[in-house]
Amino acid sequence: MDKHIDTLCVQAGYTPKNGEPRILPIAQSTTYKYDSSVAMGQLFDLEAEGYFYTRLQNPTNDYVAAKIAALEGGTAAMLTSSGQAANFYAIFNIASAGDHIISSSAIYGGTFNLLNVTMRKMGFEITFVDPDCTEEELEAAFQDNTKCVFGESISNPSLNVFDFEKFANAAHRHGVPLIVDNTFPTPVNCRPFELGVDIVTHSTTKYMDGHATSVGGAIVDSGKFDWDAHADKFPGLTQPDDSYHGITYTEKFGDKAYITKATAQVMRDLGSIPSPHNAFLLNLGLETLSLRMERHCANAQKVAEYLAANEKISYVSYPGLPGDKYYERAKKYMPKGTCGVISFGVKGGRDAATKFMDSLKLAAIVTHVADVRTCVLHPASTTHRQLTDQQLEECGVFPDLIRLSVGIEHAEDIIADIQQALGTL
Ligand SMILES: *Cc1c(COP(=O)(O)O)cnc(C)c1O
């Protein structure tokens, strides 16, 4: 029987054999020893499974990737050194210069820049769509060279809840996979693979690590997308790879083809592997993920309700708040809760927002989001600084928007801090 996610958080991935360390060991080694060159040669040809160089694979990293694959209910996963690398690799694994990508416009600022600036420079065509567009508008975005559709399950920082059904149907009608960044709700609160998503990405830097110790990312494959049914669109997976003596990934690796190619080709050549020590820290975070998400959501609910009832607040966005634009959709797709992030505006605009933030004592001003400590950020002057006002609006980031990441302290202490800071306005 499948275990509950709480159990998988604690136990999945590393299972020690008789006499082995109970806790995930850190394989702090770049290299692996073999008795013969023939044995090692087989590894280089992908003819045998095993470790030969940590840029490609490392046992500690693989155990943590296996845990994340189990949490998402996927067939395989790969860790990367950052969420940025995860999103880039997830797309680059199946698309190249001259190909077209459709992305929701309500996404993390870093991902928006990756697509809109860097990937355009590399020769990709990108079309951004409003995630709440009509089916017809979404349909009109597809081209013959479209290779995937991208979105965020809950967008950072605008807190748009993704319309999974609409995007999955459109992507599959056009024979391309749907890739969703599931960083904010985590697999504890959102199950993208049960909602039609084919590939999930994460910035593990956020709730998964949870303690703000390590930047990292992950890519997980559902194993469900039928690459061979659309072989002409995905030659990298369905045609022989010359850099491995002509193996064909889908033929040789079946429902692990996508992650095997990402590891053997993209990671081999671009090399954004996390350090095994960071993977160890990520695993410690994952052990308490379900417990922490419960408290993050319970606290955020109380804080959002407090803010919504306060006359100094101009608006509050939190998908768990009745009346929120995404309340019904969140109930449908994330019945256990959403995340601990709330965005809101203070009456008096940008200046009042700054004064409020500077007056907080418990909540710190940091770039980070989604760890155990309550923190705040003003996206328009920090993470989204490079964007024009029109781009900001397209991302759902208003100039007076404050992003509050509610931690796991006692809710009464968090609210008391907000109350005293509002008192200075
Ligand atoms: C932070 C974040 C990223 C980027 O991840 P890094 O680990 O900072 O590289 C991508 N997507 C989302 C939703 C994020 O919040």
| Å from CA of 328 to ligand 1 middle | 26
pLDDT tens-digit profile of 53-96? 999 999 999 999 999 999 999 999 999 999 999 999 999 999 99
CATH 2.120.10.80 fits 5-284, yes or no: no
| pLDDT score at 399 | 77
| pLDDT score at 393 | 75
**For residue 330, pLDDT beyond 90:** yes
Residue 390, CB-side half-sphere exposure with 13 Å CA sphere: 0
| Å from CA of 50 to ligand 1 middle | 30
| pLDDT score at 294 | 98
Q: Is the CB of 113 under 6 A from ligand 1?
A: no
Residue 157: is the preceding peptide bond cis (ω within 30°)? Answer: yes
| Å from CA of 48 to ligand 1 middle | 34
pLDDT tens-digit profile of 242-289? 988 899 999 999 999 999 999 999 999 999 999 999 999 999 999 999
Q: Nearest residue CA, atom 7 of ligand 1?
A: 83
| Å from CA of 206 to ligand 1 middle | 8
**For residue 1, pLDDT beyond 70:** no
Q: Nearest residue CA, atom 6 of ligand 1?
A: 83
Which of 108, 112, 184, 395, when mutated, tests ligand 1's pocket best, judged by the most ligand atoms within 8 Å of its CB?
108
Q: Is the CB of 272 under 6 A from ligand 1?
A: no
Q: Is the CB of 82 under 6 A from ligand 1?
A: yes
All residues at 6 or more sequence positions from 38 whose CB lies less than 8 Å from its CB, including other chains: none
Domain boundaries, the chain: 5-284, 290-422
pTM for this structure?
A: 0.96
Q: Is the CB of 152 under 6 A from ligand 1?
A: yes
Start-to-end CA distance of the chain, whole Å, equals 55
| Å from CA of 37 to ligand 1 middle | 41
All residues at 6 or more sequence positions from 129 whose CB lies less than 8 Å from its CB, including other chains: 102, 103, 104, 105, 137, 138, 141
Query: What's the mean per-residue pLDDT of the chain?
Result: 95
**Comparison of pLDDT for 402 and 380, the residue scoring more:** 402
Q: Is the CB of 215 under 6 A from ligand 1?
A: yes
Q: Is the CB of 158 under 6 A from ligand 1?
A: no
Report whether 180 contacts 203 (CB < 8 A). no
Report the DSSP beta bridge partners of residue 287. Answer: none
Lowest mean pLDDT among 10-24, 145-159, 298-312, 383-397: 383-397
pLDDT tens-digit profile of 166-183? 999 999 999 999 999 999
**Comparison of pLDDT for 409 and 382, the residue scoring more:** 409
Q: Is the CB of 183 under 6 A from ligand 1?
A: yes
**Comparison of pLDDT for 42 and 208, the residue scoring more:** 208
Q: Is the CB of 108 under 6 A from ligand 1?
A: yes
Single-letter amino acid, residue 310: N
CATH of the structural domain 290-422, one choice from 1.20.1560.10, 3.40.605.10, 3.30.300.30, 3.90.1150.10: 3.90.1150.10
* 321-326 average pLDDT score: 96
CA gap 298, 294 in Å, rounded: 6
Crossing angle, helix 59-72 and helix 276-287, to 10 degrees?
A: 30
